[in-house]
Structure 1
Amino acid sequence: MRRIWLFVVVAATFGLLAAVIQAQPLQAPRTLTAELRAALEQVYVRALPAAVRIETIPEGTGSGFFISADGLVMTAYHVIEDTRSFRVINSRKESFPAEIVGYDEFRDIAIVRARVGGAVSFLSLETSASPRVGEPLLAIGNSRGQFIAPRYGLVNTVERDIFPFFNSIAISTTIPLAPGDSGGPVLNLAGRVVAVVVAIGQPDGVFESYLSPLQGLGEVIAQLQAGRKRDVPYIGVQLFQIDDETAATLRIPKEGVLIRSLLRGGAAEQAGLRGLSIRRENGQEVYDFDVILEADGRPFNDVTQLQRYIRSKEVGDSVTLTIRRGQQILKVELRLTPNPTRRG
């Protein structure tokens, strides 16, 4: 199934995620002048032959772009995640069947291969430098019923943290993106792709669009082209922040994070950890639960920070959790797995 973000207002259509993100301070961009827009329009004309529309089954629409003459396409991973099949359509409306080559769920990028009949136009990637605040950028996508259309805007910030809706650090911009644009290329004035479209949001009433940057990913992209598939690791639990009310109700210290429930088939369930349950004994409510105090010896009192630590690792890595269960302190070793809700 498609990825579903918790604790966020989501507007998703045809495979594009659109998240409302908590407000963070923004730096004022410069103005997108008529001259800059005209320059970006020329970039669009040159890039158009390499941009594509991606259509998926179950029904969905996203965007992408050729990165090699033999038909390799880059897109956002969530566009093709858990699809049964998909096809790539170029600017001449030629349709090609395609298949997944590699992906990095952490950064929400993927490489697919379109079975093209000959050499195709492709775009160059900028992996050595990041866009600057205020820099004008062009995105190409398939939103609002339009076909491989241009969108223009400016960079707000290059280090936007929208976790847990996006695991890595995003670039935020004023580009007016919408559902259908996910996976599309974002180009600078030099005509090089600096990022991939991944999300949109409206923090504190101000619209933003979010991009997965390519800076520093030269080796990662080469690995994806060679077939690497990197899933985000999970311990298989739903967590709950221990606030004053929770601590008082459960009669526990306000430390660690509470395991609210276990995901079926996850590492935590297999290791015998316990989610919160309530039973009655002698007319009174009795609570059973585990609290995660530490991961690999590091204390965690914040759900987000624990999630971030786990997701910084790899599927297959082992993590040792320190657990409070009643009056006991336990050490439990888990082997991290992909999202257990996607199995079967």
Structure 2
Amino acid sequence: MRRSWIIFAVVAYLGTLAAVIHAQPVQTPGTLTAEIRSALEQVYTRALPGAVRIETIPEGTGSGFFISADGLVMTAYHVIEDTQSFRVVNYKNESFPAELVGYDEFRDIAILRARVNAPVPFLVLETSQGPRVGEPLLAIGNSRGAFIAPRYGLVNTVERDIFPFFNSIAISTTIPLAPGDSGGPVINQAGRVVAVVVAIGQPNGVFESYLSPLLGLDEVIGQLKTGRKRDVPYIGVQLFQIDDDTATTLRIPKEGVLIRGLLRGGAAERAGLRGFAVRRENGQEVYDFDVILEADGRPFNDVTELQRYIRSKEVGDNVTLTIRRGSQTLKIELKLTANPTRRG
């Protein structure tokens, strides 16, 4: 399926993850004037003591910030996902071992606890009012060899969809971010954190950086502080869009999405769903496969829309799939799991 722009995830390991997603219009945010930049520089000076560098094993670099005097740190979940251990380094270059407290993979945010020896400066979260289009913002991060450095820019839009790299809706900005900035705080002119850095991209040749908004997340953040760990749910299948050629070759209607393969240990495999296979019978090729027509009674003809529906749910939720298998139409109920490829 053709898609028309490239998104690069700002990962902690100084690399980029590239793929193509649907284009969306870029709004013109205005200009970051010298006066506004000067005001943000003052915000940076005040916020610096609360920002940190995150160092991970295997070797990697990300960003984060203290959100409490006793050492709670917020960052992007992908910064510490699948790492063996990590530590945080403050603006004085003091290093503290840290452990994961809770995370929300859907929004790509995580809470860590650094083992600090005394109360630390921390940044205040703004969860009641989100940034507006054209608003100037400051991000603090650790890209390009810099250490807890400032980056300035303006909001393009508060409703950018960069699925599947980010499951929720992102804020897009002109802030010139790079790998190593993931997890860093994004701060408004009042000195409050409104978002967390999660990705960068270049839609239609125009650079954008993407943020996970904190608006309305008081309850979610409270749950993460008490240890909630929310994984994105999966069916455990590899899906294929049914285009005209596929429908003609397989002699099926152009509806639903084809199951191309199953992920070992996933919900679909355990429920008995079938991936695409070819066998020979009487000297001819015969195709065996399942097509997902509906999920919970909702028809889906687009792979992305089906994935989006599943990922909006919770691990452990039950989903009823309507499946076409040859001439049969089946109802199969399965329980959603976390990503089976991360479970060994």
Name the counterpart of 1:3: none
Name the counterpart of 2:100: 100
Alpha-carbon distance in 2 for matches of 1:273, 1:198: 34
Given that 1:22 and 1:204 are in contact with CA atoms closer than 8 Å, whether structure 2 keeps it comes out as no
Q: In the alignment, which of 12, 15, 28 is matched to residue 13 of structure 2?
A: 15
**1:188-267 matches, cutoff 5 A:** 188-267=188-267
- Structure 1 residues 190 and 80, CA gap change in structure 2 (3 angstroms): same
- Structure 1 residues 22 and 300, CA gap change in structure 2 (3 angstroms): closer
Alpha-carbon distance in 2 for matches of 1:128, 1:140: 21
Name the SS of the counterpart of 1:269 in structure 2: helix
Given that 2:11 and 2:79 are in contact with CA atoms closer than 8 Å, whether structure 1 keeps it comes out as no
Alpha-carbon distance in 1 for matches of 2:152, 2:49: 18
- TM score, norm. by length of structure 1: 0.96
Given that 1:76 and 1:197 are in contact with CA atoms closer than 8 Å, whether structure 2 keeps it comes out as yes
Name the counterpart of 1:305: 305
1:128 maps to 2:138: no
Given that 1:19 and 1:165 are in contact with CA atoms closer than 8 Å, whether structure 2 keeps it comes out as no
Given that 1:266 and 1:340 are in contact with CA atoms closer than 8 Å, whether structure 2 keeps it comes out as yes
Stretches of structure 1 that go unaligned for 5 or more consecutive residues are 1-6
Letter in 2 for 1:296: D
1:11 deviates by: 6.7
1:142 maps to 2:142: yes
Please tell me the root mean square deviation across aligned C-alpha atoms, in Å: 1.3
1:285 deviates by: 1.0
Ranges of 4+ aligned residues in structure 1 off by more than 3 Å: 7-22
**1:72-87 matches, cutoff 5 A:** 72-87=72-87
Name the SS of the counterpart of 1:44 in structure 2: helix
Name the counterpart of 1:169: 169
Name the counterpart of 1:273: 273
Letter in 2 for 1:15: Y
Instruction: Tell which deviates more after alignment, 7-16 or 91-100.
Output: 7-16
Given that 2:125 and 2:194 are in contact with CA atoms closer than 8 Å, whether structure 1 keeps it comes out as yes
Given that 1:140 and 1:185 are in contact with CA atoms closer than 8 Å, whether structure 2 keeps it comes out as yes
- Structure 1 residues 210 and 9, CA gap change in structure 2 (3 angstroms): closer
1:19 deviates by: 4.7
Given that 1:22 and 1:203 are in contact with CA atoms closer than 8 Å, whether structure 2 keeps it comes out as no
Given that 1:19 and 1:200 are in contact with CA atoms closer than 8 Å, whether structure 2 keeps it comes out as no
Letter in 2 for 1:30: G
1:82 deviates by: 1.0
Alpha-carbon distance in 1 for matches of 2:180, 2:144: 7
- Structure 1 residues 81 and 93, CA gap change in structure 2 (3 angstroms): same
Name the counterpart of 1:152: 152
* CA deviation profile, 1:196-254 (whole Å, cap 9, x unmatched): 00000001100000000000001100000010000000000010110000000111000
1:26 deviates by: 1.9
Stretches of structure 2 that go unaligned for 5 or more consecutive residues are none
Name the counterpart of 1:88: 88
Alpha-carbon distance in 2 for matches of 1:333, 1:126: 41
Letter in 1 for 2:260: R
Report sequence identity in percent. 83
Alpha-carbon distance in 2 for matches of 1:241, 1:257: 6
1:8 deviates by: 5.8
Alpha-carbon distance in 2 for matches of 1:155, 1:12: 18
Name the SS of the counterpart of 1:196 in structure 2: strand
Name the counterpart of 2:37: 37
Name the SS of the counterpart of 2:37 in structure 1: helix
**1:110-121 matches, cutoff 5 A:** 110-121=110-121
Given that 1:176 and 1:209 are in contact with CA atoms closer than 8 Å, whether structure 2 keeps it comes out as yes
Alpha-carbon distance in 1 for matches of 2:280, 2:190: 68
Alpha-carbon distance in 2 for matches of 1:270, 1:8: 34
Alpha-carbon distance in 1 for matches of 2:9, 2:109: 20
Alpha-carbon distance in 2 for matches of 1:116, 1:10: 34
Alpha-carbon distance in 2 for matches of 1:175, 1:116: 31
Alpha-carbon distance in 1 for matches of 2:221, 2:118: 23
Letter in 1 for 2:36: L
Name the counterpart of 1:27: 27
Alpha-carbon distance in 1 for matches of 2:35, 2:229: 42
Name the counterpart of 1:4: none
Alpha-carbon distance in 2 for matches of 1:14, 1:41: 25
* CA deviation profile, 1:291-344 (whole Å, cap 9, x unmatched): 000000111111111101101100000000000000000000000000000002
Letter in 2 for 1:160: R
1:15 deviates by: 3.3
- Structure 1 residues 32 and 237, CA gap change in structure 2 (3 angstroms): same
Instruction: Tell which deviates more after alignment, 9-18 or 30-39.
Output: 9-18
Given that 2:107 and 2:168 are in contact with CA atoms closer than 8 Å, whether structure 1 keeps it comes out as yes
Name the SS of the counterpart of 2:112 in structure 1: strand
- TM score, norm. by length of structure 2: 0.96
Name the counterpart of 1:315: 315
Letter in 1 for 2:300: F
